Amino acid sequence: MDKLPDNAIEIKKLCKTYRPQGKGEAKRALKDLDLVIPRGSFFALLGPNGAGKSTMINILAGLSVKTSGTAKIWGHDITDDTRAAKRAIGVVPQELNIDPFFTPLEMLDVQAGLYGIRKADRRSMEILEAVGLGDKAKSYARTLSGGMRRRLLVAKALVHSPQVLILDEPTAGVDVDLRRQLWVYVKGLNAQGVTVLLTTHYLEEAQELCDHIAIINHGRVIACDTTKNLMGKLDSKCVTLTLTQDLAEIPQSLTSLGASLVAPRELEFSYKPSEVQASEILAAVQKSGLTFSELATTEPELEEVFLQITHAANQE
């Protein structure tokens, strides 16, 4: 039995330069990009528009040719072992590139044929049922809603049972219920061992779903870590206390701990966990003679981390 690779995707010094158009200058879309995606992870690739995310995905999918560097998918070099690399990956693109005159069932059968899958081994109907399109299997694709078409793209990417699934903005324009159904299915695939690479502008999705996050900006990776570690880089937390009595002013002993009065009975502490512990704040509140009935803590959002990291990179 072949040994499974430690990493689903390995990218080293990947560069992509687009030729100049007319009298314009050449554009470097990727600049010595390094990225490792562990096998079995649910990995988010984030970045502002034009950062190079789609360029990287197109190179992995074989839709664009790299200028230099190396990239491996499931241990297969995309240049030296192209066919095996392509079989290991399934890509769900941003664009709804669906033939309107095919039914979903026909579309998946054609896709399976392109990968050389025998008719007896095809799972077209099974996959359509899994993404909630079983009842639309023989309807023309042009009659499907935007959310259904998005799920059909996911189904197309799965016909050859790839070990790596790339989702490029998969929930753009998808309503809340369909988005939930899609994530339930994709999380199930990940639990079965499929490595998922997600690009999204919905940062709350990345924070909730992904165990690893990389941020790309101006063609290079500027941050890459587990979601937990990345969130910890923003040294900020907030504790809000609902007091049992009105408070006209903050006791002097609490102002040094970052206290602010947001309402007569609502006291908020913004602090750095690296410098102050929540237990110190609660002890100081009790020592000041104040009592509270409720306590709420607020963790930093991924959006704050993302903005801080990209802003710092832009200043370099």
Give the global pTM.
Answer: 0.82
pLDDT at residue 234 tops 80: no
Q: Report which of 107, 63, 51 is spatially closest to residue 89, judged by C-alpha positions.
A: 63
Q: What is the mean pLDDT of the chain?
A: 90
Which pLDDT value is given to residue 276? 87
The yes-or-no verdict on residue 192 having pLDDT over 70 is yes
Alpha-carbon gap, residue 90 to 50, rounded angstroms = 23
| pLDDT tens-digit readout, 54-101 | 999 999 999 999 999 999 999 999 999 999 999 999 999 888 778 888
Quick check: 236 pLDDT over 90? no
Q: Encoding tokens for residue 7?
A: 């990493």
Least confident of 54-58, 128-132, 297-301: 297-301
Neighbours of 7 (CB within 10 A): 18
SS (H, E, C) 100-120: CCCCHHHHHHHHHHHCCCCHH
Q: What is the pLDDT of residue 312?
A: 81
Give whole-number Cα distances, 51 to 13, 47, 199, 222, in Å: 16, 6, 12, 11
301 band by pLDDT with thresholds 50, 70 and 90: confident
**What CA–CA distances, in Å, run from 192 to 126, 188, 199?**
16, 6, 21
Integer Cα distance of 299 and 234 in angstroms: 10
Task: Reply yes or no on whether the pLDDT at 104 is more than 70.
Answer: yes
Max mean pLDDT range (206-220, 229-243, 262-276): 206-220
Residue 240: pLDDT above 90?
Answer: yes
Is the pLDDT score of 316 beyond 70?
Answer: no
Average pLDDT over residues 227-242: 87
- In order of their start, the domains of the chain are 7-232 (3.40.50.300), 237-299 (3.30.70)
Give the three-state DSSP class for 251.
coil
- Residue 2 banded pLDDT, cuts 50, 70, 90: low
For 197-218, the pLDDT digits (tens) are 999 988 999 999 999 999 999 9
DSSP string of 182-214? HHHHHHHHHHTT-EEEEE-S-HHHHHHH-SEEE
